Amino acid sequence: MENFSVFDIIGPRMTGPSSSHTAGAVRLGYIARRIIGEKPERVHFTLYDSFAETGPGHGTDKALIGGILGFMPDDQRIRSAYKLARDEDIAVEFTYSDEHAEHPNTVMIEAVSQSGHEIEVLGRSIGGGNIIITEINGMEVEVTGEYPTIIIQHHDQPGVISDVARVLSQLGINIANMKVFRRSRGDKNAFMCIECDERMTPDMKSILLRLCPAVRELMIV
């Protein structure tokens, strides 16, 4: 007999009519906000397939903005997302694409922070409020947001993975899952996607960057 959780049966607590088009969209925006790591100044959303066709009627646009503002799926302020974004001087723009994506509920989020930091996040809402981030800045990843997640861009050389794992252990962070990505064999630019039981703090981030010089960039999700 297949096991189901209460979440699978009744769905997430949320504002809006659709777990895929609303709750999932909020989570996609929220994770993009965490990846950029600071308040965005401009955000461009490109919606594909079902998101593009029926998203406006389901409030997907407001949900994505709400996530960028740092709201949870059940936050009543999502209904006023456009106004609240204007109040925070965050410029938002939407493109409803007629191109097809691998999944019907797909969005590309391009954001620029006030300090000039730029990110591109490709993600999909897969039902029940669950999401997957499949690309960050063109690199294939797999981030669900179910665990605190650390995304590391690093020089691909022997010992880097063990060095990072050792420092995380010293910081009291337990690794739940880890995946390592690179575009091709011999490519010295690689990524680690590490799901953890504990959330990394900014101080911990500074320590890891200091003790692991092969790490070029670290994002906390």
Q: Distance between alpha carbon 111 and the CA centroid of its chain, in Å?
A: 12
CATH 3.30.1330.90 region(s) of the chain? 6-143
| pLDDT at res. 46 | 97
CATH 3.30.70.260 region(s) of the chain? 149-220
Mean pLDDT across the chain, nearest whole number?
87
Q: How many CA atoms lie within 13 A of 105 on its CB side?
A: 28
CATH superfamily of 6-143: D-3-phosphoglycerate dehydrogenase; domain 3 (3.30.1330.90)
Name, of 6-20, 129-143, 204-218, the range with top average pLDDT: 204-218
* Cβ contacts of 64 within 8 Å, gap of 6 or more: 25, 26, 28, 29, 45, 107, 109
Comparison of pLDDT for 63 and 187, the residue scoring more:
63
| pLDDT at res. 119 | 93
| pLDDT at res. 5 | 41
Write out pLDDT tens, residues 157-181: 999 999 999 999 999 999 999 988 8
Q: Distances in Å between the alpha carbon of 149 and those of 56, 101, 205?
A: 30, 25, 12
Average pLDDT, stretch 136-141?
85
Write out pLDDT tens, residues 90-119: 999 999 999 999 888 999 999 999 899 899
What residue spans of 69-214 are helical by DSSP H? 81-87, 160-170, 202-211
Q: Where are the beta strands (DSSP E) in the chain?
A: 40-48, 91-96, 105-113, 118-127, 130-136, 139-143, 149-155, 175-182, 189-196, 215-220
Average pLDDT, stretch 200-212?
96
Under DSSP, the state recorded for 186 is T
Please give the backbone phi and psi of residue 187, each rounded to the nearest 5 degrees, phi first.
-70, 125
CATH class of the region 149-220: alpha beta
Q: Distance between alpha carbon 76 and the CA centroid of its chain, in Å?
A: 22
